[in-house]
Amino acid sequence: MAIAPTQALLISHDQSILDLIRLALEGRYGIKVSTAASFQDVQKELAPSPDPRYRVVISDFALAGRQLASCRPTLARDIAYSFLAEEPPLHEELPDGTSLFEFIKLPFDSNALFTHFESRGIFAPLPTAESDQTFCRIRTTFLLSVVPLCGDIYIRLSDTKYVKLFNEGTVFDEADAKKWGEMKKQEYLYLRRYHAERYADRLAGNFRDILLAERPGSPPCTDGLAAQIAENPAVAFEAISEVSEAMGFSPRVLKLARAGVEVALVAVQKSHNLKRIMNSMARETGRYLSYHSFLAGHLACLIAAQLEWNNEATFEKLMFAALVHDFTLRGTRLADVRELKDLDNLNPKPSKVERQEFFDHSLRAAELCLRFKEIPPDVDYIVASHHEKPDGSGFPRGISGSRIALLSSVFIVAHDLSEFILDLKSAEAINKENLVSFFEKRNYLYTKDSFRKILKIVPKLKLD
């Protein structure tokens, strides 16, 4: 008996592509998907009679051409063929007789694939109740630090479709991180939000272990997160940010944030090597906020040290302010916006609500700080003024130099410098010449009061 033609055949020599597409199609459409490494394998399996099962064939373009032609008699006539390739193939390269040919651009993007099938009426998505609201995004490599896993772990196939990969209690090891993170390009995996509290507690425990290992005579911390933080301390901010995005800024997240700030401060004291942070940022996308926040805190502490404000309380305030100053922008498309004028570069154009959200973000983050007495004093003020400028041209309040507190001035300059450094794009560009260049470019702005004194420190900063 013929089986209903609601299936797909995937042909690729790349196992990771096969797995990703299969998961995506099965998850979204509830169809059965077969995979094969080559057209010859398909032919061997299906020959000699035509097989009515397949509605679509998806293949690496590299495997197409004659191979497809030789295989076609075994496939039904009205099949839709899709070829995966990094660049669209030339017309003369297309195999003969493909009735419905489409090209799908690599690297693989599940949303593009879904649009492709759904806009042509080939498949329709299953109704689903799950959505982004239900899940908490976690950087895949962070899962190494929470084994055995503190909840089921999912892969996200679309805004509304998630498929379980690992059960709670299983071990997620280096091989898993490599397979899903590097080979399958899944930078993030997902945990259900109701398990996020457990994850927050585990992370806080990991931060404490990292801090304990710093005590003289203590054994080194072998936790996976410790190694990632040693390589790039901005990772600590990212871990906190993910949890707070899922849970809001709760007392539990505050506990985690305090431990994370301490970890970040230890990392800053150990090394000023911003080049390594820059290098890892160049490899990764979508992490601007965590990197920029950490860098602003790092630079603020360096400036404070030069001003001889060498006390732990000052460093803690500055680093805390750095962590939370843009917190309310996380997870929005406003996360990468720096100034009010940059809002006009967003595509599509920002709504009134978005404009207001950006305009108010410093005050909203400050209000967040005021809700918790555990947050060091002054952090709210530093956060509230991080977009103010000494000439009064900043926002949201437009206050000027003499009304901006000293610690806030340090943070404003450090925040500005962090954006300048991230714009350099290359680690090699973090050098004395560019610090002097920052000094010269900001000479017109930081002219008054304490700002002048702070700006003069910038060219003297030791960044490696």
Residues that bind Fe ion (CB under 5 A): 326
Nearer to Fe ion, 161 or 386 (CB): 386
Contacts 24+ apart (CB under 8 A), 2-7: 2/52, 2/53, 3/52, 3/53, 5/52, 5/53, 5/54, 5/55, 5/76, 6/31, 6/32, 6/55, 6/123, 7/31, 7/32, 7/33, 7/34, 7/53, 7/54, 7/55
Least CB distance to Fe ion at residue 459 (A)? 22
Residue among 157 and 300 whose Cβ is closer to Fe ion:
300
Contact 306, 461 (CB under 8 A): yes
C-beta of residue 162 within 8 angstroms of C-beta of residue 156: yes
Q: Closer to Fe ion by CB, 207 or 291: give it.
A: 291
Closest Cα to residue 301, out of 388, 418, 184?
A: 418
Nearer to Fe ion, 326 or 380 (CB): 326
CB of 296 to Fe ion, least distance (A): 6
Indicate the SS3 state at residue 350: coil
Q: CB-based contacts of 39: which residues, under 8 Å, 6+ apart?
A: 11, 59, 63, 64, 67, 68, 70, 71
Helix (H, G, I), strand (E, B) or coil at 70: helix
* Smallest distance from Fe ion to CB 428, Å: 24
Using CB positions, name the residue nearest to Fe ion: 326
| Block residue for tokens 């035509």 | 50
Which lies closer to Fe ion via its Cβ, residue 326 or residue 378?
Answer: 326
Taking the complex as a whole, how short is the minimal distance between the CB of residue 334 and Fe ion, in angstroms? Answer: 9
Residue whose token pair is 């585990």: 202
- Rounded to the nearest whole angstrom, what is the least distance from the CB of residue 84 to Fe ion in the complex? 39
Asked if 261 contacts 294 with a C-beta cutoff of 8 angstroms, the reply is no
Alpha carbon dihedral 202, 204, 210, 213, in 10-degree steps, equals -90
* In the complex, minimum distance from the CB of residue 44 to Fe ion, in angstroms, rounded to a whole number: 59
Taking the C-alpha atoms of residue 330 and residue 193, their distance in angstroms, rounded to an integer, is 17
Token pair 């003289």: residue: 216
| Residue closer to Fe ion (CB basis): 63 or 412 | 412
3-state class of 161 per DSSP? strand
Token code pair at residue 260: 């994370």
Would you say 224 and 184 are in contact if contact means Cβ atoms under 8 Å apart? no
For Fe ion, give the closer residue by CB, 284 or 360. Answer: 360
Least gap, CB of 361 to Fe ion (angstroms): 6
Q: CB nearer to Fe ion: give 238 or 326.
A: 326
Shortest Cβ distance from residue 383 to Fe ion (Å)?
A: 9
Give the Cα separation of 200 and 395 in Å (integer): 33
Question: What's the min distance (Å) between Cβ of 177 and Fe ion?
Answer: 30
Residue number with CB closer to Fe ion (326 or 388):
326
- Structural tokens at position 44: 């061997």
Measured from the CB atom, is 412 or 455 closer to Fe ion? 412
Nearer to Fe ion by C-beta: 209 or 326?
326
* Rounded Cα–Cα distance for residues 429 and 13 (Å): 41
Phi, psi of 103 (to 5 degrees): -105, 135
Who's near 41: CB < 8 A, 6+ residues apart? 11
Nearer to Fe ion, 208 or 442 (CB): 442
| CA 372/CA 345 separation, integer angstroms | 35
| Least Cβ distance, residue 328 to Fe ion (angstroms) | 9
Tokens of 339: 């100034």
Please report how close the Cβ of residue 419 comes to Fe ion at its closest, in angstroms.
Answer: 8
| Closest CB 212 distance from Fe ion, rounded Å | 31
